[in-house]
Structure formats: C-alpha cells, structure tokens
C-alpha cells in the first residue's frame, strides 16, 4: 500500500462521524439541484395530458380507445377522467407539434448549456455556478405558471433545459470534490438519488393537482436550493487552484472535522493541482493525453450505454406490462409505483457502491437488464403472434421490476458519479461538459427514434435491439472501466494509463 493511501486511511480512522456529517450536508445541499432537475424532467408526464385535447370516444360503443404509451401527444381517456375530477380544465390546449416542441426543447437547452457551465465552473468556482443555475430554474417555473399558450411553455422548457444541463455538470463535480475517498461513491450516487426523488415527487403531486398548481409547488425547490446551498463552502481543489491554500485548509477542516489530520490529504490535493497547472487545459491536450483520453472514452461510453439500455422503452411500456399481469391499475398509479421502486433501488446503490465497487454494480446492471429485455421481447412477440401467454402474464411485471432495480443500482447513478472521478482537475470542467452534452444528445435521439422504431419493427424488436447493446456493454465494462473504489485521483490516472 502506498503512503498516500495509508495516510488517507489514518485520516479516516480519526475523523469519525462528525467529519462525514458535514460532507453529507454539503452533498445533500448540492443535490437539491438534482431534485429541481427531477421535477423538470417529470413535469411533462402529468402536465401535457392536461393541456392536450382528449381522444375521441367511439359514439357507438361504451368502451374507450386504448392508450398509446409511446405517443406523448395523446392524452388517454383514463388520464382525462382523472383531470376532469380535479375540476380545473385547461385554459388553452396544445396541438401535436406544440406538445412535441415542449417535450424536446429541454434536451436542446441542456446540450447547449453543458459545456459553457463546465468552463464557468472552472473560472468562477463550483459553488457560485450552482447558485447561478437557480436563476434559469426559477425563470422556467415563473414562465410556466403564467403561461397563456404554447410559446411561453416552449420558452420555459428551454430555460429548464439550460439549468438542467448545467446542474448535471456542476453538482456531480462539486460533490466529487468535497467527498473523501472512502465515501466518494456513496455521495456521488446522491445526484441520481435526488433526481429520482424529484421525479417521484412530480408523479405523486401531478396525479392529484392541475399542471399549474404542480408548477407553483415545484417552484419552491430552486428557492430551497439557494437557501440551503448558500451556506456551503467552495471545494478545496478549486481554492488550491486559485492559490488560496489557507481558505482551502479551512474548508477541508470544516468538511473533515476538527480532529482530522489534514496534512497528507492537503498535500495530495496540492500535488494534483500543481500537476494540473503545468498542463494546458485545452481539448487538444486532453485528447492527446492517454489518461484523460481513456477517461473521456469511459465517461462517454457509460453515458451511451445508459441511454441505450432500453430504460425509455421499459418505462414507456409500463402500463402495458401491468396489463399483461392482469392488472387494471390506473396509469398514474403505475407510474408512481415505478418511481418508488427506482428511488428505493437508487438509495440501495448509494449504500453499496463504496462496498461492492463500481464495476460489479455496472456488470450486474447490464447483464440483468439484457436478460430482462430478451424475455420482454420474447413475451410480446409470442403475444402478438397469437400464442396463449396468460399463464406467464406475471413474467413481464417481474422483468419490469428487476430491470428498474438493476438500472437504478448500476447504470442510473454510476455514470454521473464516475464522470466526477475519472478526470484530472485541469480537464474536469470541459470533460464533464462534453460528457453531459453527449448524454443529452443521446436522450434526444432515443426519445425521437423510439416511437418510430416501435411503429416500424414492433415493441418486441425494440426490446431485442436494446438487449444487443447490453451484451456489448458487458465487454465494455469488463475490459475498459477501471475500479475506482477507494482510489485517489492520482491512482485513477495511473489505472487509466497515465505516468
């Protein structure tokens, strides 16, 4: 065991719970931004059906047209009935094209903001960057609350995209830099955990309130972000990079506790910063440095497989999967159940990630998700072919739960957490921005193409299509992704091929 690692362990033995408490407080404060992002991501699910014309009923029958879960522009009759029960009819309606723009503009805004926010975080600091992002968050909700037509909603969602893409860069970066090595994984998983909390909150509140009321309630979270995060410190790494060693030591003392021996950790941070300052932090340099290039390949690959895991296909087909199990559960309740499972599984991941390690959780994730996708594809292929699958109607529901649990314990949180772990200080802002841009571009591509694929090749082929990526993902994780559990930045760079 090398000296830095031995010293880190000795620090961890001395600091105790008091030291870790402040790190958890700072991580939770930053992760409130993920809650805001979660409310924004989930807003369209309960809100859009309320401001779209309901589907027409067949006047010659008493039955209703079955919902198409792949077309967000079609409000189901079940959802319409729920909305009518609220007694708050929409004062304007969106057509199909307007609904599509409201849904898709978010990804465009997120892709635009990611790289600039990474650069800003390097220039002015992680803390002020997160606080500044509360401004477009708030603008989004204000415009939404007072919206009187499609134009205002589209503008609001663009601001929502700017802030959401930015927080996906700044919050993981901040959390990764304030955490000590032994709990860096657990704290890093907070971003995805709080994102799922925001999504679940929106599903629950949105099921029983109008879209405008939901927006008013959600507007509290950006204010909460400022109120709580305002009192948090800047990261020690950033302060050292700005030659503020005394301030960095003061912050590290607050984070680690009054009894912790900081000398070794502070010196390791200083060495990393000094090494970074000797490097030119440009994209060309990053691509010509083996360690940083491998870090970028790993981060981009993780984001690619996260989006091509089939998570959207499974989530969008939730209602049909419940029906296959013989359930007539309300679509809104089915969505809430999925949200609860996702949140609980992500929380379990935050407990396991620093014990089991990153690689094993990623491997279980792609293996289990791949198997579930193959089974789902086979089931719905047999069902479409007229086979009697009633005896195993429970199977898709079991696959749904296993898939969501597996995703939430692996490819849900870990790509975001490792994004902050893999890159050296001088490239962290730029590389995080590139990674987040890639993620949102993939979100846009998958969201755009999936309904078309479902229509052209059938849902079963879509499941098999995504399962093929999970098979490839096993090899990607096994051969390329390093185990970063318990390792310092310098050790991670060595694993990636640095000197």
The pLDDT tens digits of the residues spanning 290-303 come to 888 999 999 999 99
pLDDT(372) > 80? yes
Residue with tokens 């009192």: 231
Distance CA 82, CA 78 (A): 6
Given this model, what pLDDT does residue 414 score? 94
pLDDT grade for 231, boundaries at 50, 70 and 90: very high
Q: What is the mean pLDDT of residues 448-468?
A: 89
Of 4, 8, 489, which is closest to residue 295 (Cα–Cα)?
489
Given this model, what pLDDT does residue 100 score? 79
Give percent of the chain above pLDDT 70: 87
Beta bridge partners of 54: 75
Among the ranges 9-13, 133-137, 273-277, which has the highest mean pLDDT value? 133-137
pLDDT(442) > 50? yes
pLDDT(403) > 80? yes
The pLDDT tens digits of the residues spanning 23-51 come to 999 999 999 999 999 999 999 888 888 88
Residue 54 — left, alpha, or beta (φ > 0 → left; ψ -120 to 50 → alpha)? beta
pLDDT grade for 481, boundaries at 50, 70 and 90: very high
Q: What is the mean pLDDT of residues 213-226?
A: 96
Q: Is 75 helix (H, G, I), strand (E, B) or coil?
A: strand
Of residues 85 and 372, more confidence is placed in 372
The pLDDT tens digits of the residues spanning 78-133 come to 333 333 335 455 677 888 788 878 888 898 999 999 999 999 998 999 999 999 99
Beta bridge partners of 75: 54
pLDDT(274) > 90? no
What residues contact residue 480 under an 8 Å CB cut-off, 6+ apart?
294, 297, 298, 301
- List, in sequence order, the alpha helices (H) in 179-289: 184-188, 190-206, 211-218, 220-229, 236-241, 245-256, 263-277, 283-288
Q: What is the largest CA-CA distance in the chain?
A: 80
Of 305, 341, 309, which is closest to residue 322 (Cα–Cα)?
341
Given this model, what pLDDT does residue 97 score? 81
Given this model, what pLDDT does residue 13 score? 41
Lowest mean pLDDT among 64-73, 252-261, 359-368: 64-73
Q: What is the mean pLDDT of residues 192-216?
A: 94
**Residue 381 has which token pair?**
């292929």
pLDDT grade for 69, boundaries at 50, 70 and 90: very low
The pLDDT tens digits of the residues spanning 421-437 come to 898 877 888 889 999 99
Of 407, 422, 406, which is closest to residue 482 (Cα–Cα)?
422
The mean of the pLDDT values for the chain is 84
Q: Return the domain boundaries, the chain.
A: 3-57+67-495
- φ, ψ at 54 (rounded to 5°): -65, 155
Are 140 and 160 in contact, with CB atoms under 8 Å apart? yes
Asked if the 3-57+67-495 domain carries CATH number 3.30.70.2190, the reply is no
The pLDDT tens digits of the residues spanning 158-194 come to 999 999 999 999 999 999 999 988 888 999 999 999 9
């Amino acid at each position: 065991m090398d000296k830095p690692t031995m010293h880190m362990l000795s620090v961890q033995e001395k600091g105790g719970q008091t030291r870790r408490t402040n790190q958890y407080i700072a991580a939770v404060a930053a992760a409130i931004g993920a809650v805001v992002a979660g409310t924004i991501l989930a807003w369209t699910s309960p809100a859009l059906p309320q401001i779209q014309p309901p589907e027409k009923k067949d006047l010659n029958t008493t039955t209703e047209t079955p919902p198409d879960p792949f077309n967000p522009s079609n409000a189901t009759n079940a959802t319409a009935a729920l909305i009518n029960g609220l007694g708050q009819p929409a004062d304007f309606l969106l057509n199909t094209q307007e609904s599509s723009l409201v849904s898709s503009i978010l990804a465009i805004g997120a892709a635009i903001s990611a790289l600039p926010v990474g650069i800003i975080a390097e220039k002015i600091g992680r803390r002020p960057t997160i606080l500044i992002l509360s401004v477009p968050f708030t603008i989004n909700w204000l415009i939404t609350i007072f919206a009187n037509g499609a134009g205002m909603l589209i503008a609001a969602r663009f601001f929502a995209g700017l802030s959401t893409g930015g927080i996906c860069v700044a919050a993981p970066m901040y959390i990764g830099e304030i955490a000590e090595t032994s709990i860096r994984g657990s704290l890093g998983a907070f971003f995805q955990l709080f994102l799922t909390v925001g999504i679940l909150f929106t599903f629950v509140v949105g099921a029983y309130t109008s879209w405008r009321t939901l927006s008013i309630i959600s507007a509290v979270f950006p204010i909460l972000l400022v109120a709580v995060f305002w009192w948090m410190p800047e990261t020690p790494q950033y302060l050292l990079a700005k030659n503020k060693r005394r301030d960095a030591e003061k912050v590290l003392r607050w984070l680690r506790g009054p009894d912790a021996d900081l000398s070794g950790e502070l010196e390791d941070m200083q060495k990393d910063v000094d090494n970074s300052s000797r490097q030119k932090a440009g994209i060309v340099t990053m691509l010509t440095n083996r360690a940083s290039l491998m870090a970028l390949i790993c981060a981009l690959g993780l984001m690619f497989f996260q989006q091509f895991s089939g998570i959207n296909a499974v989530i969008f087909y939730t209602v049909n999967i419940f029906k296959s199990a013989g359930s007539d559960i309300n679509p809104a309740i089915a969505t809430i159940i999925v949200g609860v499972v996702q949140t609980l599984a992500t929380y379990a991941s935050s407990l396991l990630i620093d014990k089991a390690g990153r690689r094993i959780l990623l491997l279980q994730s792609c293996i289990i998700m791949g198997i579930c996708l193959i089974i789902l594809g086979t089931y719905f292929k047999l069902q479409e072919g007229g086979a009697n699958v009633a005896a195993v109607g429970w199977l898709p529901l079991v696959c749904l739960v296993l898939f969501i649990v597996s995703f939430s314990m692996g490819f849900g949180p870990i790509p975001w957490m490792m994004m902050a772990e893999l890159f050296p200080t001088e490239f962290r802002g730029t590389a995080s921005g590139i990674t987040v841009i890639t993620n949102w571009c993939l979100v846009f591509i998958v969201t755009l193409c999936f309904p078309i694929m479902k229509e052209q090749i059938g849902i079963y082929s879509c499941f098999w299509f995504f399962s093929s990526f999970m098979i490839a993902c096993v090899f990607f994780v096994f051969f390329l992704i390093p185990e970063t559990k318990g390792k310092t930045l310098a050790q991670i760079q060595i694993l990636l091929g640095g000197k």
